[in-house]
Each structure stands twice: as structure tokens, then as C-alpha cells.
């Protein structure tokens, strides 16, 4: 991890879940040692992050990096000449686009370093649901008038068959400041189930909605869909459709009722 | 997150993947503000952690907490009177035993706070494999002469059917300083497949073995089982049996060959 002598470098540093206090000591050191620091602002958004406080902490300017800057390869032009640090919400490699970025960096012979941090993937265990009982995860996407994908629902169906929990991420368009609400997401699931008449997801289905996990404002709500839909949970949120519950999982969820 | 006024408190603070530099600023603040700090030493082990350096960082003594101390409820007797911080490798709630601990604390009216950190669950995306394409995970357990469970293998079979990746944790007995090696784990998988004659896991099957992820010594090895078995990968390690690969995943893994 120590390579202060490197002249070219791309480091992806995870920021964790909420604000600038979630950076690790290793990540902070990495950012402070960089020539240029960017904040990747399109795959996720830390709702508690204050850019000015982040800059004070890192002791240098932090520039915003949008999708075009990252995916066009412009970030790699910098990293081919200098030590470049890209700060990313959560754990950096969870966003699929960053695997591609790392690959392109390697092709150019640019050393890459990843500093991991908390991700919603493991943090959801704060619901009492056990990590090894989650099946595949999926994202509930914004529907358009003529584009209503349902593949995320099929993921839940498969997981349910196996007794597994399903973690649903909710779509976001960070650049438009648009974040899917829990209510919108549940509405889509209800519509798909009603359309298919499969009875798998109804207003009486019990779900877990988790909002702003890892923050002072965090909310973990458990209950039937029709009740959760009356709750104004602020973004970012995720939804979990539980599978078969272990007794401790059940007790934990019921302690939230 | 700020509650310095609390007189009783249980906080579980994640330490991340490798050493004391992986703590977050929030976690460090939490530990420094506690009356008593324990290091949970049985669900995981940070191989790079130096207790003395950790104590210097936290500015107080760190006591080891074994399974008996946590599970007997003795830790809660302290937390009912003081601010107690338990440091845990990875992301604290991933270890199922901690869900039970939190539940018991709530029953006693002890406020609980979780400080998340990196977990191997999301960190494995550093292999280029995409988080949403992992199915259920499982642990490959030590076999005894008369106890050879195979349920972890069934998890892989189900995932393979769905085209999903399987993350395997390797068994550990931290108190005996005994950690399953990648070779031992692969040997068990080979034996099960040979016994069942299912052809699903052979010396020619391609797997990913990841050792000491997030450390300066990290190794990500990709290749056929018979080759990976010749490699002495130090603990802690995990194994991934890939499912159907997306082109970027394939390109990423092949860049490791």
C-alpha cells in the first residue's frame, strides 16, 4: 500500500456510507498523498457529504468527476502523469463501471490501488438479516411510459424459491438529483405481481425498507407493504424482501415493529 | 451518531480488512469516546493488526473478547453501566453472532450503535466480478473423520444453475490459530464432486482465489483448480467459483492470468 515513490497512479478510495467521517485512515492517507483528487459523483451519492469539510480533511481541492470524465478515459490521461485519487461512495469496486476503469488503467501500465470501505451490501446486516442468506441482488429501475423492465422482479422470484432474501437497490439519477423513493419502488413491484397474478407481492407482503443506513438519520422499517408505503423514507434507500427467516432474524425484525 | 451523553452504550465498530489503518474516522472517534474497548477475536482475525499500534491510535487499553465473553452476556453487563465499544474485523453485523448480541442489548434497554466498515462481501469486487451477479455465499468447513458436511457445495450447484458466482469463505478456528488453506478447501470441493460424479468441479475448473484482500500482500489468483492448488496463498483467503461471465468480467479475470 505504500508507494509514495510512484509517479503515476490511479487509486480508488471508498468513502463508505454517509459523510466524510466514514473515510478510513488508509483512504485519507491515500487521498492526501495524491496530486489530484476527484469525487466520483454519478454511481452513488453520499447524502451527508460536505465537499468543503472533505477538502479540509484531505487538505486539497476535490474536483467533481462525472460519468463523461471517468468513462471517456480523461481521468486516465491524468493518472498516466500524476498520482490521481478518485473518491467513490461505498466500496469502490461495487460500481461495475469501475472494473472497466481499472482494466483500462492496467492496459496503459498505470498502477492501480483500491482502498475498500463499507458498502450497503454488508451494512444491510444491521437489519438482523444474515449475509449468507441473501441471494442475488437487483436494482429497481425507473419506468418510462414505453419502457417497463421487470427483470428485477424475476430475481426476487428465484430467491424466494430458494428461501433467500433479496436486496433491492433503488434507481438514481444523481446528476438530475432524482432518487427513487421506497414508495415508487414498492408500487412497481405491486404492479408487476398484479399483472402476473402470481400473488407473490401484495400489499400484505412484509418487507424491510432501509433509509440512510450508517447515518444519524438512519431508519430501518419493517412491516407490510401498504404500511411501509405511508412512510416518507428519505433517499438513499434500499428494500429487502425477506426469504425464509431464521428464528434470530425473525426476532430481530419483530423488534423493529 | 453523536451521543456523548449516553452513560450506557454498546457500539460495534468495524475494523475493515487488514490492519489498524482501516478503521474509519467515525469508528476511531467512537472507540476513543468509550469507557471500555474490546477486540472481538473469534469470528474473524485481522492478520495485519498490531494491538499495540491499535491501542496507541485509540489512546486506551484494548482487551480481547473471546466467544465466551460475548455470548455469555458478560459484555452486556459492562454495557449496562458504561460506554462499551467492541471492535470487530470487517463489517460488524456480518457475523451472525452479533445480531444476537444486539438483540440482547436492546432487550436490556442498552442503546446500540454500529459503525460499518469494509467487508469481504463487497471487497471481492476487486476481482472484477460484479456484485449483483453473486448468488448466495457459503463457508467451506473443516471436515472431521466422521463429520463431512457438503451443504456448501449445494450452494454452488444452485448458483451455477442460475449462472451466478459463488463466494466461499474458508473455515477458521481463530483461538487455535487454525485457518483453512485454499488447497484444503479446493480438495474438499474436488472430493464432493468426485463422490457425486457430477463433473461440476474438477481439476480443470477455473476458480478465483483471493488472499489477504485489502493488504499490501494481497493476491488475486485466477486459473484452473490444479494450478491454484500449487500456490501457497496465505490466510485469510476466500474462493470464488465464477458463474456465467460478462465480457468485462472475463477480460478482467484474464488480465490476472
Instruction: State pLDDT tens for residues B103-121.
Output: 999 999 999 999 999 999 9
Report residue B4's pLDDT band, with 50, 70 and 90 as the boundaries: very low
- B44 touches A: beta carbon within 8 Å: no
Nearest CA-CA partner of A211 in A127, A128, A130, A144 = A127
Question: Does the structure show a pLDDT above 70 at B256?
Answer: yes
Using only C-alpha atoms, chain A has a radius of gyration, in whole angstroms, of 20
Nearest CA-CA partner of B240 in B117, B89, B133, B94 = B133
B102 with A2: Cβ contact below 8 A: no
Complex ipTM value? 0.95
Instruction: State pLDDT tens for residues B75-98.
Output: 999 999 999 999 999 999 999 899
Report residue B1's pLDDT band, with 50, 70 and 90 as the boundaries: very low
From chain B, the residues in CB contact with A99 under 8 A are: 125, 128, 130, 248-249, 252
**A93, A125, A248 ranked by CB distance to B94: nearest:** A125
**How far does B76 lie from chain A, in Å, by closest CA?**
17
Integer Cα distance of B173 and A8 in angstroms:
41
From chain A, the residues in CB contact with B24 under 8 A are: 16, 21-25, 117-118
- The count of other CB atoms within 10 Å of the CB of residue A2 is 8
Report residue B5's pLDDT band, with 50, 70 and 90 as the boundaries: low
- The count of other CB atoms within 10 Å of the CB of residue A193 is 20
Instruction: State pLDDT tens for residues A48-62.
Output: 999 999 999 999 999
Average pLDDT over residues B38-63: 94
Report residue B238's pLDDT band, with 50, 70 and 90 as the boundaries: very high
Look up residue A170 and give its three cell numbers.
Answer: 433503488
From chain A, the residues in CB contact with B29 under 8 A are: 21
pLDDT, residue A2, reads: 46
Residue of A50, A107, A118, A249 to mutate, interface with B, max B Cβ within 10 Å: A118
- A248 touches B: beta carbon within 8 Å: yes
Residue of A2, A99, A212, A240 to mutate, interface with B, max B Cβ within 10 Å: A99
**B103, B132, B136 ranked by CB distance to A132: nearest:** B136
CATH of domain B4-118: 3.40.1010.10
Integer Cα distance of A167 and A131 in angstroms:
11
From chain A, the residues in CB contact with B130 under 8 A are: 96, 99
Query: Is the CB of residue A228 less than 8 Å from the CB of residue A182?
Result: yes
Average pLDDT over residues B7-14: 95
Query: Residue length, chain B?
Result: 257
Superfamily of domain A121-254: Tetrapyrrole methylase, C-terminal domain (3.30.950.10)
3-state secondary structure chain B: CCCCCCCCEEEEEECECCCHHHCEHHHHHHHHCCCEEEEECCCCCCCCCCHHHHHHHHCCCEEEECHHHHHCCHHHHHHCCCEEEEEECECHHHCHHHHHHHHHHHHCCCCEEEECCCCHHHHHHHHCCCHHHECCCEEECCCECCECCCHHHHHHHHHHHCCCEEEEEECEEHHHCEECCHHHHHHHHHHHHHHHCCCCCCCCCEEEEEECCCCCCCEEEEEEHHHHCCCCCCCCEEEEECCCCCHHHHHHHHCCC
Instruction: State pLDDT tens for residues A194-240.
Output: 999 999 999 999 999 999 999 999 999 999 999 999 999 999 999 99
Longest Cα–Cα distance in chain A: 62
pLDDT mean values, one per 10 residues, chain A (257 residues): 69 98 98 97 90 97 95 94 97 94 95 97 97 97 96 98 97 90 98 98 98 96 98 96 97 92
**B57, B118, B131 ranked by CB distance to A117: nearest:** B118
Domain ranges of chain A: 4-118, 121-254
Closest-CA residue of B relative to A100 is B248
Closest-CA residue of A relative to B121 is A122
The whole-chain average pLDDT of chain B stands at 95
Look up residue B149 and give its three cell numbers.
Answer: 458436511
Average pLDDT over residues B161-171: 97
From chain B, the residues in CB contact with A114 under 8 A are: 126, 214
pLDDT, residue A185, reads: 98
Amino acid at each position: 500500500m505504500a508507494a509514495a515513490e510512484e509517479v503515476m497512479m490511479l487509486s480508488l478510495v471508498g468513502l463508505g456510507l454517509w459523510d466524510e467521517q466514514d473515510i478510513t485512515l488508509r483512504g485519507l492517507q491515500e487521498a492526501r498523498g495524491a496530486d489530484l483528487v476527484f469525487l466520483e459523483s454519478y454511481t452513488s451519492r453520499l447524502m451527508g457529504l460536505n465537499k468543503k469539510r472533505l477538502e479540509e480533511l484531505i487538505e486539497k481541492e476535490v474536483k467533481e468527476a462525472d460519468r463523461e470524465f471517468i468513462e471517456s478515459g480523461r481521468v486516465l490521461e491524468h493518472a498516466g502523469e500524476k498520482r490521481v485519487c478518485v473518491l467513490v461512495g461505498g466500496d469502490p469496486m461495487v460500481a461495475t463501471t469501475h472494473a472497466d476503469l481499472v482494466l483500462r488503467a492496467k492496459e496503459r501500465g498505470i498502477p492501480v490501488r483500491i482502498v475498500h470501505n463499507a458498502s450497503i451490501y454488508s451494512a444491510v446486516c444491521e437489519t438482523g438479516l444474515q449475509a449468507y442468506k441473501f441471494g442475488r441482488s437487483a436494482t429497481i429501475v425507473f419506468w418510462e411510459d414505453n419502457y417497463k423492465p421487470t427483470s428485477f422482479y424475476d430475481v426476487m422470484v428465484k430467491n424466494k424459491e430458494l428461501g433467500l432474501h433479496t436486496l433491492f437497490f433503488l434507481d438514481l439519477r444523481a446528476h438530475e438529483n432524482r432518487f427513487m423513493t421506497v414508495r415508487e419502488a414498492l408500487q412497481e413491484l405491486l404492479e408487476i405481481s398484479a399483472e402476473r397474478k402470481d400473488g407473490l407481492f401484495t400489499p400484505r407482503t412484509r418487507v424491510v425498507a432501509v433509509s440512510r443506513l450508517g447515518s444519524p438519520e438512519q431508519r430501518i422499517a419493517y412491516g407490510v407493504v401498504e404500511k411501509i408505503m405511508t412512510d416518507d423514507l428519505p433517499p438513499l434507500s434500499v428494500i429487502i424482501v425477506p426469504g425464509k427467516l431464521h428464528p434470530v432474524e425473525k426476532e430481530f425484525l419483530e423488534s423493529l415493529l
